Structure 1
Amino acid sequence: MANEYDVVIVGGGAAGLTAGMYAARYGMRTAIVERMMGGNQIINVDKIENFPGFPQGVSGAELGPLMQEQAMDAGAEFVMAEATDAVLDGPYKVIRTSDGDYRARALIVAAGSSLRKMGIPGEEEFYGSGVSHCATCDGPLFKGEVVGVIGGGDSAGDEALTLTEYTDRVILFHRGDRLDAQKIIQDRVIRSPNVEIIYNTTVEAILGDGLVTGVQVRNKITNFSDRMSLAGVFVYVGLEPNTEFVRGIVKTDNAGHIPVNTWMETDVPGVYAAGDIRQNSAAQLVSSAGDGATAATAAFRFISGQ
């Protein structure tokens, strides 16, 4: 028999936990389904400086559990499971998970995104053997070594700076002629004596023999190809929305993001999307939290007939 709630929220990041807190405060029986610990990917962020209320910054490992605690104190139930499928065509939405089925009158999809893979030779082969997506987790393994970071956005810049705390040198490979990160991050990266930025360059392959030993790179302007020795490679080339369990059920765009209106409503009545899983998201922690609050409010209005 399925577990029954007023609202089920899939995803335990900023959007999902905020939605859970608001939904529970509205008096709705609320379950937050998350396959990782509360906070999702933010728990791996070394220092968050752009979330209101923390002028000195806060680590993701601290903020994530605090957000989960606040949601649970409000009355939300946290379920550690992975959503695998959904049936959304009846008055009750059925969410199938690795922990069984959950039924609810409303569903909030806030499953976030996963770091995009490049799809180059060596990336899968050496994942966990020198290829990583988490500087805070794996940076200490490369003490005194030279590592590479692929990407030019906020995550690439932040993680490159985190890696300077452990490594001898960080080489940042970016395909463009300027970084795409926020200016404050760009300035820190450019000023860092331990970060070398190589512009207009693509990484074509990750090389190794059991462990990563380097990369094959190509300059986009000169077409010159070269090999560079590295002990590790950290990949930050964008995000892919975790919408697999509702694709073909809820409308998504070509990239897999879910279109919503200003109330976070999808094309299926009683189903909402919040955070960077939705189309045209700002993909920021604070905007994801706002999405979660909006989605929970909309779900309450839907259930109560307002």
Structure 2
Amino acid sequence: MKIQSSFQNNSKNGTLYIVPTPIGNLEDITIRSLNVLKSVEWIAAEDTRNTRKLLNHFEIEKSLVSYHEHNKLARETRMLDVLQEGKDIALVSDAGMPGISDPGYELIRAAIDEDITVVVLPGANAALCALVGSGLSTNEFYFYGFLPRKKKDRDNDVQRLKNIEASVLFYESPHRLRETLAYLLEQFGDRNVSIARELTKRYEEYIRGTLSELIEWTETGTVKGEFCIVMEGNSDPISEQSLWWSHLDIIQHVDHYIKEEQFNSKQAIKRVSEERQIPKREVYQTYHVEQ
């Protein structure tokens, strides 16, 4: 067990500050965030060019070091050394909260393991803005982020989401938006949904309706900028007891009926399709082609 008293740091180590940055409107940065950025030894940024624009706007001159998906493990050791020398570092992302669909988790975990104080500042977050503005239930929500690009991984993950009663939050890029909305319609049915784009910027928009209505909107609407998708949860969930197969992926599910029930592959695929409520061709593709 470890207890961190964030503002009573008696160790010789520095502090790792997690600093959210504006998701569009520069006025959304907090005074505290600016003060931290001015005070630290280093600022670790996902894209130093993007962060330099932010620092220039607020006339902050600091050393920047890149920290992104492709170099995070190599950078981690050096940043831990700097922190253990008693110097402070601020971790920022291109927009929003570091660590949320952005690099950060590994560095934070490593700092905690080394008894380095980690202080998280509050600030802008696209997912929460989209949720609150969606008009859908905010009592419970499940943040997923970007769906996997590989169909097999996507299908397996979606099975876990189908029975969730909470609102579900996704991120998506403009060139994949229509494809993703069509996929959600196929997997979840015509649920109510809200998509938000250009949050906090001049052309901010919320488009609210059913999945089928929003797919139609993509034919004529402005599909630009990053999107947040908020989808209503399952209003009639299946009991966990009846989902005995929920811990299995599609291949394991089919194999169960072949090995335990002596089904042939065609019968097993049909049963799995019915239980998972997905087309037989998807089960066939996963079982016979992708494995």
TM-score (norm. length: structure 2) = 0.27
Structure showing greater radius of gyration is 2
TM-score (norm. length: structure 1) = 0.26
